[in-house]
Every structure is written in C-alpha cells, then in structure tokens.
Structure 1
Amino acid sequence: MAWIYLFIASVFEIAWTFSLRFLSVKKLKALQWQGFFSHWDNWLVLAPFAGYVVFGLGNIYCFSVAMKEIPASTALAVWMGTALIGVKFVEIVFYKTPYDWQQFVYMGFILIGIVGLKRMP
C-alpha cells in the first residue's frame, strides 16, 4: 500500500509543478476581493494557487504515509524519479516540448533504478 501512496505522491508532485507554471503572484496580489464571485477572471487567477496548495498538501501527506514503510532514501529516489519522468512526459504530450531519443534512454535508466530500488528488500 505504501508504494501506491508513493505513486500518488508523485502524481501530486507533477500536478504541483504545473500549477506553478500558471501561478502569478503579481495577479494574486492585485485581486479585488470585493465582488470576487461576480468575475470569472478572479477564479482563473485563484485556481493555480488553489492547485498549488491542494497538490502540495496532497503530495506531502501521501509521501509521509509512504515513508512509514519505505526507507527514506528509497522513497525519495522513487518519488523524485517518477515525478521527473512524469513532468517530462506531460511537457512532451501537452506542451509539445522538443525531445530526442537520448532523453528516453536516460529516462529508461531512471526507470531501471526505480524498479531496482522497489525490488530491494
């Protein structure tokens, strides 16, 4: 069950990373709280911040639950490796970031390390 929590923590980390992409502190500071609910644009400014908070807290919670059964060094390596690969795939699929075959080779090395760490007693 701890490995499932670790995977979910990685998914939250990926979502948290992309919430930062859309977060604008400058726009948050400029929000007009009077009549907030009457303007759709206010929600568009607040949504990335809400994602930042929710995904960050979900990430911390799931990661802490996983670390109760998985050694910290293994949990950290697997969590960061899966999040790194997930961020790269999201960038390629949704943001059309350029890539080449060598990146997939190195991501494969990361996956081999993750599988190796998971298989250790």
Structure 2
Amino acid sequence: MAWVYLILAGAFEVVGVTGMNKVSRHKDMQSYIILFLGFLLSFGFLSMGMETLPMGMAYAVWTGIGTVGGVVIGMLFYEESKDWKRILFIGFILTAVLGLKLTS
C-alpha cells in the first residue's frame, strides 16, 4: 500500500505544480485552491508512504514523479518545448528512480 500512497503523492505533486503555474498566470481563487489542495494531498500521501518506505527512496520517487509529470504537463498543455533532449533527460530521471528501487 505504501507504493500506492507514494504514486498518489507524486500525482498530487504534479497537481500542485500545475496550480502554481495557474497562479502565476491568473491569480484567481480556483488556481490557489488547485495549488494548495495539490500540495496538501501530496504531502499527506508522502507521509503515509514514508511510514513503510525508506526516506531516501520515497523522496526520490516522489520528486521523480513530480519532475517528470511537471515537464510532461508543460509540454502537453502549456506549449513548452518537446525537444528530443528534454525527452532523453526525462528518461534519465526515470532510469535513476528505477535504479534506486532495484538496488534497495
């Protein structure tokens, strides 16, 4: 169950980052709600996942999901660059997180 919590924490991290982007563009109540709820749920699920998983592993997976998710959302919805180098480095992040999991 800890892995489910960790994946949910990463997904809500992406929601929080998306809210942060919306706040920087619109500064309306809906944007702030997305920002705060996303991060609140993210930290809540992260803390539940860390009850079982080691801190280093949990943090690496959480930030990896948040980083990759934020970049992908930016590319899909905010017209950020889809350059092959960005995609390559996303692959490096995923490989590093997977490597941590396999060696733990």
Q: State the TM-score, normalized to the length of structure 1.
A: 0.77
Higher-RCO chain (CA-CA 8 Å, sequence separation at least 6): 1
Which residue number in structure 2 is paired with residue 22 of structure 1? Answer: 22
1:39 match: none
User: 1:88 maps to which residue?
Assistant: 71
- Structure number with the higher helix fraction is 2
Instruction: List aligned pairs for 1:76-115, cutoff 5 A.
Output: 76-115=59-98
- How far off its partner does 1:60 sit? 0.9
TM-aligned CA deviation for residue 99 of structure 1: 2.6
Asked if residue 117 in structure 1 is aligned to residue 103 in structure 2, the reply is no
Does 1:4 find its partner at 2:4? yes
Q: Is it true that 1:54 corresponds to 2:49 in the alignment? A: no
Q: Percent of aligned positions with the same letter in both sequences?
A: 30
The one-letter code sitting in structure 1 at the alignment partner of 2:35 is: Y
Unaligned runs of 5+ in 1: 28-44
- Choose 1 or 2 for highest CA Rg: 1
Q: After superposition, what is the alpha-carbon deviation per residue over 1:81-120, rounded to whole angstroms, capped at 9, x for unaligned?
A: 1110111111111112113111111111111111122223
- TM-score, normalised to structure 2's length? 0.88
Distance across 2 between alignment mates of 1:46 and 1:56: 16
Query: After TM superposition, where is structure 1 displaced by more than 6 Å over at least 4 residues in a row?
Result: none
Query: What is the RMSD computed on CA atoms of the aligned residues?
Result: 1.5
Q: What is the rounded CA distance, in whole Å, between the counterparts of 2:87 and 2:23 in structure 1?
A: 29
Q: Structure 2: which 5+ residue stretches go unaligned?
A: none
